[in-house]
């Protein structure tokens, strides 16, 4: 498929233009551009490239499924989650482990987003990505705890900037293998998505890694573990899990980033990682602070170890 640019579309960003033309999510468009599945004049470019008259966009039809994803997003009242706070602009959700935040390319119908639009259908209009309406940040599927959802476009734009400016307080509780060498520390290591599906790797910025900063404080040391309070300044995919695995303190129960040399007599079918505290200045200028207790399954683990 070839799309030729005329004067009406010049100076538009490539990813934004294709999102309108192909009616699929911008995140998917960006992914295809980055992987060279969509090229401009036969060359690989960046998603934010500004178009010129007579440019030719080349699209491999086999690699792109042209569909209106927003029509695929189905409400699902069976999805369970807890609302901690709500006003006209935002929701604060306490997400259970095992719940995917939004559909992937497989278009799952049992995600948090499916549950939200069952009661808040107006969310479908919020944001640029039809698969992530109202979503301004995420938690991994098997990670539980507090997260923010935006109910209006104004809130989405406001909090997007708050996250970019690192003004949102995000604190997690984590149990890691082996006692920590220091009572507190900062892990400043860039991350990049691995070619192995679903994993992240520590890579230098020269290798394409993006800045990722994780701070931690030891809450309690055990014989073979450490309970930590973890604060992230950046929000990279799997950031906490990747960082602690890299420094040889993988998260307990994390099957994706587990290390063969680490052995522990703990049966846990999820990572011991919980979004415990969330704080932010709301649109009205009032600062809000929320806290979530550890799920029972994780609390029981703490009682088992010495």
Residues annotated as part of the active site: 140
CB 115 within 8 A of CB 100: no
198: left (phi over 0), alpha (psi -120 to 50) or beta: left
Q: Which of 150, 145, 131, 132 is nearest to 98 (CA)?
A: 145
The 3-state DSSP class for residue 39 equals strand
Please state, in angstroms and rounded to a whole number, the distance separating the CA atoms of residues 227 and 220: 5
Q: How far apart (Å, rounded) are the C-alpha atoms in residues 171 and 146?
A: 9
Q: Are strands 213-221 and 225-232 parallel, antiparallel or unpaired?
A: antiparallel
Rounded Cα distance, 250 and 254, in Å: 7
Q: Cα–Cα distance between 238 and 256 in angstroms, integer? A: 10
Which among 39, 46, 51 is positioned nearest to 2, based on CA atoms?
A: 39
DSSP-assigned letters across all residues of 115-148: HHHHH-GGGGGSSS-TTSTTBSS---TT-EEEEE
CA angle 265, 268, 270 (to 5 degrees): 145
Secondary element (H or E) of residue 33: helix 26-34
């Amino acid at each position: 498929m070839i799309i030729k640019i005329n004067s009406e579309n010049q100076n538009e960003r490539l990813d934004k233009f294709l999102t309108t033309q192909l009616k699929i999510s911008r995140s998917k468009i960006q992914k295809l551009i980055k992987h060279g599945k969509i090229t401009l004049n036969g060359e690989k470019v960046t998603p934010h490239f500004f178009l010129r008259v007579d440019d030719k966009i080349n699209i491999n039809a086999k690699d792109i499924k042209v569909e209106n994803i927003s029509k695929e997003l189905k409400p699902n009242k069976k999805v369970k989650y807890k609302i901690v706070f709500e006003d006209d602009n935002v929701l604060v959700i306490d997400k259970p482990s095992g719940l995917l935040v939004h559909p992937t390319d497989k278009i799952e119908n049992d995600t948090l987003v499916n549950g939200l639009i069952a009661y808040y259908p107006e969310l479908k209009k919020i944001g640029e990505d039809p698969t992530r309406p109202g979503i301004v940040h995420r938690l991994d599927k098997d990670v539980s705890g507090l997260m923010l959802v935006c109910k209006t476009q104004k809130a989405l734009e406001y909090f997007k900037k708050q996250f970019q400016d690192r003004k949102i307080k995000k604190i997690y509780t984590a149990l890691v293998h082996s006692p920590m060498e220091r009572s507190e520390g900062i892990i400043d290591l860039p991350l990049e998505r691995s070619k192995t599906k679903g994993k992240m790797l520590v890579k230098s910025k020269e290798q394409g890694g993006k800045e990722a900063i994780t701070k931690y404080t030891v809450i309690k040391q055990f014989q073979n573990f450490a309970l930590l309070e973890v604060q992230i300044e950046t929000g990279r995919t799997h950031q906490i899990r990747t960082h602690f695995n890299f420094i040889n303190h993988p998260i307990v129960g994390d099957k994706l980033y587990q290390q063969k040399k680490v052995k522990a007599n703990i049966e846990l079918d999820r990572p011991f990682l919980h979004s415990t505290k969330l704080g932010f200045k709301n649109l009205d200028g009032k600062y809000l602070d929320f806290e979530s207790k550890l799920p029972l399954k994780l609390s029981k683990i703490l009682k088992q170890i010495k």
